Amino acid sequence: MSELGKRIGQRIRELRTQRPERWTQEELAERAQISVSFLSMIERGERVAHVETLAALASALGVSLGELFAGTEQSLAQTEDLLRPLSDFARARGLTARDVDRLLGVARVMFNGSTA
């Protein structure tokens, strides 16, 4: 599942549980007219809902779609912090573009199981 899907699911769970009356999944699912199992999969990041479902969830939670997505994107600073050690590694070892391409090939095999 995509990282964005996981962050959207976490955001929905956060909005649901931070309500003063702390809704259960059953309560939110009923209000959004979706199944509890589907809501559970969305919150766990196992499924990504269509925009219509996200709109129904936002409406049920009393927030706009914009508010539903608020905080789900990684900031540029977070991305730079994540990539800095890789950049430092390549720079310290004087890696060429070809070396970096080879390193990425190894990473792809390690994390995807293929070279494509």
The upper half-sphere exposure of residue 79, i.e. CA atoms within 13 Å in the direction of its Cβ, equals 4
What's the angle, vertex CA 10, arms to CA 6 and CA 15, rounded to 5? 150
Domain 3-69 has CATH 1.10.260.40: yes
What tokens were used for 61? Answer: 């939670």
Residue recorded with tokens 């259960």: 24
- pLDDT for 80 equals 67
Contacts of 70 (CB under 8 A, 6+ apart): 11
What would the pLDDT profile of 39-78 be if each residue is shown by its tens digit?
999 999 999 899 999 999 999 999 998 888 886 665 555 6
Alpha carbon distance 55, 32 (integer Å): 9
Domain ranges of the chain: 3-69, 76-111
Q: Smallest Cα–Cα separation from 42: which of 89, 70, 6? A: 6
Confidence of residue 109 (pLDDT cuts 50, 70, 90): confident
